[in-house]
Structure 1
Amino acid sequence: MALKSLKKQRRIQIVALAAVALVVSTVLIGYAMRDGINFFRSPSQVVAEPPTESETFRIGGLVEEGSLVRGAGEQIRFRVTDGGATVPVVYTGVLPDLFEENQGMVGTGRYVNGTFEASEILAKHDETYMPKEVVDALKEQGVYQEPES
């Protein structure tokens, strides 16, 4: 009788230890990824519900025609639109070669005082590619046109 209760107690200890290990590993993974998860927002979503200044997120849309201004040094200003709303963007750095007006882009950064301060800018990398999130945001606003093949 004592042997059965000892086995049962040991089994309970192992199950409890496994549950604790699972919880600890889940918390550690979440903690490690807290900066690596950047939510995507369209310009319309940013204007409708502005994120906090401390939140890093991705924004995407089309670079508005006539909005690209190269400042002193490596600072670049432009506006990104999804047809429904427009958000001013400021970026310091070297833009991708394929970056141009009326083309799709995705930027990572923060929304500070009504301007998206980008830390990274990505542009389309061939004639037909545009990030899925950007296509979805443009379709939602009724501005997306299928590329001609």
Structure 2
Amino acid sequence: MIPRRKKRLTWVISLIAGVAVAVSLILYALNQNIDLFYTPSEVLAGKGKDLTRPQVGQRIRVGGMVVEDSVRRDPQTLQVHFRVTDTGPEMTVLYTGILPDLFREGQGIVAQGILIEPDVLQATEVLAKHDEEYMPPELAEAMKGIKHVNPNAPDAYSEPAGDGDKQ
């Protein structure tokens, strides 16, 4: 091989190796900062096709509804613990701090923190959902039996036949 081509080949291979190492380091750093979102059912039963459960010590976000009569406050400190559910099992959330103004029982929340037991989350942040009317169609159907109607369907808002002007 010509020495000039050898030198070019060495530079190209070095450049490709350097880019590969840089991309690997970036992906590793990003992986440490990702907080995956789960519902309580997914945390306790597993998520997705492979049914992987989050590990104890992993940072995650959990979203669901605060269970009625589950909020317990420590009168001496800012510690609060409550249970969150979606359609099935309940999960306990421990939080130290001031809760959002919109936080209440029966309200949707998202808690971010570290899983300290398979069903207990030590939250570092609690967010209350501000619009209690909206719910994803799948969750609304599972929790309240509400069937989603597509507003773009041709007859979504038409009245049934025979209910015309009755006087």
TM-score calculated relative to the size of structure 1: 0.77
Counterpart CA distance in 2 for 1:137 and 1:76 is 30
Q: Is the 8 A contact 2:103 2:128 kept in 1?
A: yes
Counterpart CA distance in 2 for 1:68 and 1:136 is 27
Counterpart CA distance in 1 for 2:98 and 2:104 is 13
Higher helix share: 1
Q: Percent identity?
A: 38
1:74 matched to 2:78: yes
Counterpart CA distance in 1 for 2:112 and 2:82 is 14
1:138 match = 139
Counterpart CA distance in 2 for 1:8 and 1:136 is 61
1:15 matched to 2:12: yes
TM-fit CA distance, 1:86:
0.8
Pairs within 5 Å for 1:1-80: 5-49=2-46, 51-72=54-75, 73-80=77-84
| One-letter amino acid of the structure 2 residue matched with residue 18 of structure 1 | L
TM-fit CA distance, 1:136:
7.5
2:129 match = 124
TM-fit CA distance, 1:63:
1.1
TM-score calculated relative to the size of structure 2: 0.70
Please, what is the CA RMSD of the aligned residues?
2.7
TM-fit CA distance, 1:137:
7.4
Helix, strand or coil at the partner of 1:40 = strand
**Runs (5+) with no aligned partner, structure 2:** 47-52, 148-167
1:87 match = 91
Q: Greater shift after overlay, 108-117 or 36-45?
A: 108-117
Q: Is the 8 A contact 2:44 2:89 kept in 1?
A: yes
Larger relative contact order (Cα-Cα within 8 Å, sequence gap ≥ 6): 1
Q: Is the 8 A contact 1:42 1:137 kept in 2?
A: no
Give CA-to-partner distance per residue, 1:45-88, whole Å, 9 cap, x none: 11214532221111111111221222231111111110211101
Aligned residues: 139
User: Which has the greater radius of gyration?
Assistant: 2
Counterpart CA distance in 1 for 2:138 and 2:126 is 18
2:106 match = 102
Structure 1 residues 109 and 32, CA, compared in 2 at 3 Å: closer, same or farther? same
